[in-house]
Amino acid sequence: MDCIFCKIAKGEIKTRIVAETKKSLAFLDAFPLAPGHTLVIPKTHCAKIQDLSKEDNCDLFDLVHDVASKVDSLTGAVLLAVHNGKGAGQEIPHVHVHLVPRTEGDSAGAIHGMFAKRPAMSDSDFDKVLEKIK
């Protein structure tokens, strides 16, 4: 497998490790959006969150919880983001959580600012989507 995150997890590629557990790894992003931008990954290769075992998922998000406080201490605000699949903007098909320190005026904005086209939904539309998700 030629996955850069798997290579990082195996120690084949040098990185700046922030924290580590038996199953997960947090390290500084090599192409940060802000100083302190950290990625948290499972050491097991999975493309999407729903592909993770419950154990790997719990370990990953326990580490996200711990590291988020550390990243938050840099600016007092941190964006947590997961792109879950190529259509969601995932560039590397290995689960990863971005922890990006935020500041007022950093030009990133709120999540609703990411979408230029937003659907107009009726109550019926909401009900149909709800049923599909359930």
Could you say which of 65, 96, 98, 112 is catalytic?
Answer: 96
> Is 96 a known active-site residue?
yes
Q: Which residues make Cβ contacts (< 8 Å) with residue 54, sequence separation at least 6?
A: none
Distance, first Cα to last Cα, the chain:
35
> What angle is formed at CA 104 by the lines to CA 99 and CA 107, rounded to 5 degrees?
75
**How do 97-101 and 38-42 pair as beta strands?**
antiparallel
Active site residues: 96
